């Protein structure tokens, strides 16, 4: 996908470009779900580098569980299958430990590969099942973090250095003349702690650049800083113009005045920005607020299929809403683009109305862009069609037959999504406003996307007597 185009514009670079317009009034690729980018702080792990992690494998052995890594925990709990993880910060120092040999002399130094004050310890011991081997076990607190084996006996310092060369977390250097030494056994001997990196606003901008090459459905941050939220909005709008389609989710602490939060949500006025209003308490009685709630909702939005709505979806693990609003307050908040958590009749916490912050659609937008489901559907359609047409660039002639091929391929995508229950109708024609010429061709894709029934109006007609007409 090469990005967006303005009607009448002729691009320099070859590629497939998309433009969004509305059909009718406001009243009237490939499939990708479950990918969430998370920007966070940690006391260990790759710094300022985007790392793709599966929810199944987890993030703990890469970044640990310190600082704001719980943003990843919440995103996965929301349904994210893949995390594009980026630890944010600058500076700091690595933890170290120096081990001695059996003569009580310093033999080698082990250094963590990444800065941070994680509480590491190390154990060196003979392997119980094989006396020819020793084990080197690293712990983070009381949890085993990494384990490896190396040859025991003469030369085992060099053997451990070699074994650690393949470690993703630690490296070692032998002291001069100690390569052939035998290491003394130690049991959970503590590292000298490193120092956590500092984090500035500019570091978040750098993190955005790191995740940009990846494809993801949603993105969230570990901060309630509104200045950084605005940077995030600028970022997702910039990459949208370059063909990357995603939604961001942010939140502030419930202690921020309600009117202020609503004003911040309304100021986005963006179908790609989602603002979660409420905090909650989880089943363990822990208050989950701000960025944590945003991360959970980001995981849910990212994982949701384009033919499903999150309206009135129960949030697993949410036992109590921290901030309960009146009906009037809920309506006012939703009119300002807030995603509000409420209770269902069973006192379960659910999403009251799955809307984004778009309040006033642009001239090229209809009211469907206000709905999270329809944004997901439309982004999926655009992504799938652009993936299909990208494969045709430079491969078909710009004549009647070539354009018919393009139409057929696009129509195939639309028909598939209609059969998947995501569209009501989709028809493709050559543009009536622009005539194919040279190496450029224009096509109109007329789409009616499907929505869920979210407003049911019941008129009751009662009769006092069966004789009344």
Q: Give ∠ CA 149-154-156 in degrees, rounded to 5.
A: 30
Could you tell me which residues come within 8 angstroms of residue 17 by beta carbon, excluding any fewer than 6 positions away? 2, 3, 4, 5, 11
By the 10 Å C-beta count (0-12 exposed, 13-18 middle, 19+ buried), 122 is classed as: buried
> CB count, 10 Å around CB of 92?
16
pLDDT digit of tens for each residue in the chain (469 aa)? Answer: 567 777 666 665 556 777 777 665 544 446 789 999 999 999 999 999 999 999 999 999 899 999 999 999 999 999 999 999 999 999 999 999 999 999 999 999 999 999 999 999 999 999 998 999 999 999 998 999 999 999 999 999 999 999 999 999 999 999 999 999 999 999 999 999 999 999 999 999 999 999 999 999 999 999 999 999 999 999 999 999 999 999 999 999 999 999 999 999 999 999 999 999 998 888 888 888 999 999 999 999 999 999 999 999 999 989 999 888 999 999 999 999 999 999 999 999 999 999 999 999 999 999 999 999 999 999 999 999 999 999 999 999 999 999 999 999 999 999 999 999 999 999 999 999 999 999 999 999 999 999 999 988 888 888 888 776 6
Tell me which CATH code domain 35-88+199-351 carries: 3.40.50.11780
Alpha carbon 305 to its chain's center: 15
Matching CATH number, 96-190, of 2.60.40.4290, 1.20.58.390, 1.10.240.10, 1.10.268.10: 2.60.40.4290
Give the domain ranges of the chain: 3-29+361-449, 35-88+199-351, 96-190
User: Both tokens of residue 105?
Assistant: 């002399």
By the 10 Å C-beta count (0-12 exposed, 13-18 middle, 19+ buried), 241 is classed as: exposed
Q: What per-residue confidence (pLDDT) applies to 296?
A: 96
């Amino acid at each position: 996908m090469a990005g967006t185009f303005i009607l009448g514009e002729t691009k320099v670079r070859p590629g497939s470009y998309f433009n969004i317009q509305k059909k009718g009034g406001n009243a009237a690729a490939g499939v990708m779900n479950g990918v969430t980018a998370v920007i966070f702080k940690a006391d260990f792990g790759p710094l300022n580098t985007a790392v793709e992690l599966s929810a199944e494998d987890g993030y703990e052995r890469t970044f640990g569980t310190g600082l704001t890594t719980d943003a990843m925990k919440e995103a996965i709990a929301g349904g994210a299958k893949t995390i594009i993880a980026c630890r944010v910060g600058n500076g700091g120092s690595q933890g170290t430990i120096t081990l001695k040999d059996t003569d009580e002399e310093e033999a080698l130094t082990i250094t963590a590969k990444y800065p941070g004050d994680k509480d590491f310890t190390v154990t060196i011991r003979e392997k119980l099942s094989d006396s020819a081997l020793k084990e080197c076990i690293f712990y983070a607190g009381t949890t085993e973090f990494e384990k490896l084996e190396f040859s025991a006996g003469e030369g085992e310092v060099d053997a451990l250095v070699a074994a650690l060369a393949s470690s993703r977390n630690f490296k070692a250097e032998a002291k001069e003349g100690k390569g052939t030494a035998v290491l003394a056994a130690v049991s959970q001997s503590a590292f000298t702690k490193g120092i956590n990196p500092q984090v500035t606003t500019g570091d978040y901008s750098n993190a955005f650049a790191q995740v940009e090459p990846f494809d993801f459905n949603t993105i969230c941050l570990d901060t309630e800083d509104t200045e950084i939220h605005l940077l995030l909005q600028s970022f997702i709008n910039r990459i949208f113009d370059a063909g990357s389609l995603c939604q961001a989710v942010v939140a502030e602490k419930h202690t921020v005045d309600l009117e202020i939060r609503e004003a911040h949500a309304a100021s986005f006025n963006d179908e790609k920005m989602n603002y979660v209003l409420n905090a909650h308490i989880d089943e363990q009685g822990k208050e989950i607020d701000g960025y944590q709630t945003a991360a959970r909702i980001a995981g849910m939005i990212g994982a949701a299929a384009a033919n499903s709505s999150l309206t009135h979806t129960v949030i697993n693990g949410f036992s109590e809403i921290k901030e309960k609003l009146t009906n009037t307050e809920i309506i006012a908040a939703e009119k300002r683009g807030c995603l509000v958590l409420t209770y269902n009749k069973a006192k379960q916490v659910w999403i009251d109305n799955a809307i984004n912050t778009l309040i006033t659609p642009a001239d090229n937008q209809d009211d469907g862009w206000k709905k999270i489901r329809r944004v997901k559907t439309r982004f999926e359609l655009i992504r799938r069609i652009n993936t299909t047409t990208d494969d045709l660039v430079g491969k078909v002639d710009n004549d009647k037959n070539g354009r018919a091929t393009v139409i057929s391929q696009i129509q195939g995508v639309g028909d598939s999504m209609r059969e998947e229950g995501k569209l009501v109708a989709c028809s493709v024609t050559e543009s009536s406003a622009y005539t194919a010429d040279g190496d450029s061709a224009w096509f109109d894709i007329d789409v009616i996307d499907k929505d869920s029934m979210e407003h049911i109006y019941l008129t009751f007609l009662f009769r006092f007597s069966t004789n009344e007409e």
